[in-house]
Structure 1
Amino acid sequence: MSDRGADLFFYALLLILPLAGLIARRPPLKQTVKMALAWIGIFAVGLLAVSQRDRLPGIFSDQRTSGGETRIRQDPDGHFYAEVEIEGVSRRMLVDSGATTTALSVGTAKALGLDLNANPFAALIQTANGRVAADTARVKEVRVGSIRMHDLGVVVSPAFGDTDVLGMNFLSRLASWHVDGRTLVMTATDRGAAPPAE
């Protein structure tokens, strides 16, 4: 069974259990229909909220900021995802210490209005799926919680799909970063304002 099929089976089971309990109580038909519709409505709203989690970061936030420190809880899939603002465009980005450079999807690059034709030579990037050609660009500002970085190099390629990644060129400009249990802790530094050579 595929992951999607397993998810659908799980959600169907969650819906069937309260409905089965309702039917077992044998209330009058009109009351049964009302309560069944109420349960279906509650389930639909919950499912919609979970499926739109990426677009509702303020409600389902795994990211906390305190002073110059930003803490991100580990996602159930084992990764860390940061709520990032790039030049005013909000994205949920995978934090990947295995990525040398911050990588953006074509959709994010378009939303930012990046000029991908400024450099006529594509960069060759080593990914988990092999080497891919990517355009290079720079973004003026990247914000993660209280962390603010200026003039960050990025790569853009259709091969990245819809995934946006914060790479080592971001992490290396922090005062520190480490994983504490199931939490990624990133500490800001003034060096974020002035980039090193990338």
Structure 2
Amino acid sequence: MTQTDIARLAFYVLLLVVIGGAMLFELSGKGGRALRQMLVWVVIFAGVALGADWYLDATAPRQQVMDQGTRIKIPAGRGGHFHLQATLNGTPIDFIVDTGATHIALSRRDAAAIGLDPDRLRFSGVAVTANGRVKTAPVTIERLAIGEVVDRDVPAVVIDSQLQDSLLGMSYLRRFTTISFQGDMLILER
């Protein structure tokens, strides 16, 4: 479960607690019948919205690795971004494919997940992002796998910011001979 999923769940739980608490107050005899019925429908709507949100995430199309890993098809996500999962040093990491990013940019959380200690890194570089300038620390990913394709000693940076998602930038995408779009599908070929 990602931090986005946790935040989304916390929001819905808080929403249900607030609405449910208000509904209990009203049902204790202090409110009118119409207000009680309206609150019941609000709680039902919030529950359906939560279920639909989880269902859409669970059933969202994922990348397809074909032709012994030489062709990767990535469908656009709900926000229009292309999300790809790669295995770094044996750990699955979710990326946003970002042709505007120069390097593979790891979040502090993902860096820690693959065995790097962000507190011990030397943040000597600078990256210009949509949110301004951020410090970066150069690192090397020992093993990066997407399906059957394995690359070793892949250069990357760790971003010293509140970056939630790691970015798969051009330094890695250039390893593919073809990057193309077919409708809402991104295709990477080696």
**Which TM-score band applies after superposition, normalised by the shorter structure?**
0.5 to 0.7
Alignment of 1:83-122 (within 5 A): 83-116=85-118, 120=122, 122=124
* Contact in 2 for aligned 1:140/1:150 (Cα 8 Å): yes
How big is the shift at 1:169? Answer: 0.7
What SS does the aligned partner of 1:84 have? strand
Q: 1:50 aligns with which of 36, 50, 55?
A: 55
* Partners of 1:133 and 1:176 in 2: CA distance: 31
Which amino acid in 1 is paired with 2:111? A
Cα distance change, pair 97–48 in 1 and its aligned pair in 2 (3 A): closer
Query: SS of 1:169's equivalent?
Result: helix
Letter in 2 for 1:50: Y
- For the pair 1:185 / 2:165, whether they are aligned, the reply is no
Query: For residue 76 of structure 1, what is the aligned residue in structure 2?
Result: 78
Offset at 1:60? 3.9
SS of the aligned residue for 2:176 comes to coil
Structure 2 Cα separation of the partners of residues 160 and 149 of structure 1: 27
**In structure 2, what is the Cα distance between the partners aligned to 1:88 and 1:161?**
22
| Stretches of 4+ aligned residues off by more than 3 angstroms | 42-51, 115-121
Unaligned runs of 5+ in 1: 13-38, 189-198
TM-score under structure 1 length normalisation? 0.64
The correspondence for 1:175, drawn from 174, 177, 183, is 177
* 1:132–1:121 distance in 2 versus 1, CA, 3 Å: closer
State how far apart, in whole Å, the 1-side matches of 2:168 and 2:162 are: 13
How many residue pairs get aligned? The number is: 149
Q: Distance in 1 between matches of 2:152 and 2:179?
A: 18
8 Å Cα contact 2:61/2:75 also seen in 1: no
Is 1:129 the equivalent of 2:108?
no
Aligned-pair distance for 1:44? 8.4
Query: Retained in 2: the 8 A contact 1:98–1:168?
Result: yes
Amino acid at match of 1:173: R
1:144 is matched with which residue? 146
- The one-letter amino acid of 1:144's match is I
The Cα RMSD (Å) is 3.1
Question: What does 1:156-175 align with in structure 2 at a 5 Å threshold?
Answer: 156-175=158-177
Question: Per-residue CA shift, 1:59-112, capped at 9, x if unaligned?
Answer: 644211211211001112111000111111112210001000001111111111
Distance in 2, Cα, partners of 1:89 & 1:142 = 9
Query: Partner of 1:62 in structure 2?
Result: 62
